[in-house]
Amino acid sequence: MPSHQQKLTLRRQEGASKETTAKANDVHPPSPPMSDTIQTATTEQMAKDIASIYVLLKETSETQESKLNAIQTATRAVEAKLADMVTRISNAESRLDFLEDTTSNTGFPEGCEGSDALAFVRNTIPQLLKVDFPGGPEIDRTHRSLVRRKPDVHPPRVIIARFLRFQNRERIMEAARRLGQLNWNGHRIMIFPDYSKLVTDKRAAFNPCKRLLHERKIKFSLLFPAVLVLKMTEGRREFTDPKKAQDYILSLP
């Protein structure tokens, strides 16, 4: 049996042991359970992943919206151009150009129509084409082209006539093809359908070629929409490129 002094010593040792344990716990607090640490890390990673996904979705949405807006803008532009083309085609179906050739003594001279271009064309067409129109051809309106009038040494401006009936227009075109060369008071007259601006510009690009061909007395024709056909002794040559056509003409002996 331990003596009183031994018991006292043991109690002192136990006290010292408890004090040491307490100090150790103060210096190194107990770690949280492993499961809590893993759960916290997983939650933080999920939050980061969700944030990244949100940013990606937002960027994708903005990109798609931008592309959609661009497509809508392009579609509206195409629709506007189509509407304009439909209007031009509709007008062209009932219009004719009374065109001049490349020299000043062709086409209806400036001012010959007087103050009433519509009456002039209505009265002149039957005589020019030798076609009878009971009551005269039905014309909606007639005017010179809107370009500025040039000095008399230049060809006269085109006279444009719009007919109320498509059948009248076709009958006039058929008569003009049948007769070939048309003359009015010593002036050569040419009749063509009124083309859209795009076609007109393409055909006008061949004007330098036409002048060269006239100078060299080479027969040619300009087919629709813009095909230059040369009638050579060695055969027929066709050009859709004005530059290539001009180079070929210049290379001829």
Residues 196, 88: contact at Cβ < 8 Å?
A: yes
Quote the number of domains for the chain: 3
What six digits make up the tokens of 143?
């005017």
What integer pLDDT is reported at residue 100 of this predicted model? 43
Cα–Cα distance, 124 to 126 (Å, whole number): 6
Residues 116, 129: Cα–Cα separation, whole Å: 20
The strand order across the sheet containing 139-144 reads: 139-144, 159-163, 95-99, 187-193, 182-184
**Amino acid residing at 167:** Q
Q: Does 170 reside within a domain?
A: yes
Assigned domain for 40 exists: no
Task: Output the CA angle 215-194-133, nearest 5 degrees.
Answer: 105
For residues 184 and 149, membership in a common domain is answered with: yes
Residues 125 and 185 in one domain: yes
Q: Which residue has the tokens 């999920």?
A: 46
Identify whether the C-beta of residue 165 lies closer than 8 Å to the C-beta of residue 133: no
Using alpha carbons, select from 232, 227, 252, 230 the residue that is nearest to residue 242.
227
pTM, two decimal places: 0.43
Is the domain of 62 the same as that of 113? no
For residue 183, give the nearest of 128, 130, 131 by alpha carbon. 128
Same domain, 106 and 182: yes
Task: Out of 41, 73, 98, pick the residue that ends a domain.
Answer: 98
Are residues 110 and 183 both part of a single domain?
A: yes
Cβ-based neighbours of 81, under 8 Å, separated by 6 or more: none
Q: Give the Cβ contact number of residue 241 at 10 Å.
A: 13
Per-residue pLDDT of the chain (253 residues; tens, 9 = 90+): 555 555 445 455 555 455 544 444 454 555 555 555 556 667 777 778 787 887 787 777 777 777 777 787 777 777 777 776 666 655 555 555 565 444 445 788 899 999 999 999 999 999 999 988 887 889 999 988 887 887 776 778 888 888 888 888 888 888 988 888 888 998 888 887 776 778 888 989 999 999 999 999 998 888 877 899 998 888 889 999 999 999 999 999 8
Instruction: Please report, for the domain that includes residue 207, its CATH number.
Output: 3.30.250.20
Please check whether residue 6 lies inside any domain of the structure: no
Taking each helix axis from N to C terminus, what angle separates 117-129 and 166-179, rounded to the nearest 10 degrees?
A: 50
Q: Which domain holds residue 119?
A: 101-193
Contact by Cβ (8 Å): 190, 100? yes
The CATH code of the domain that includes 132 is 3.30.70.1820
3-class secondary structure, 118: helix
Indicate if 243 and 206 belong to the same structural domain. yes
Predicted pLDDT at 34: 54
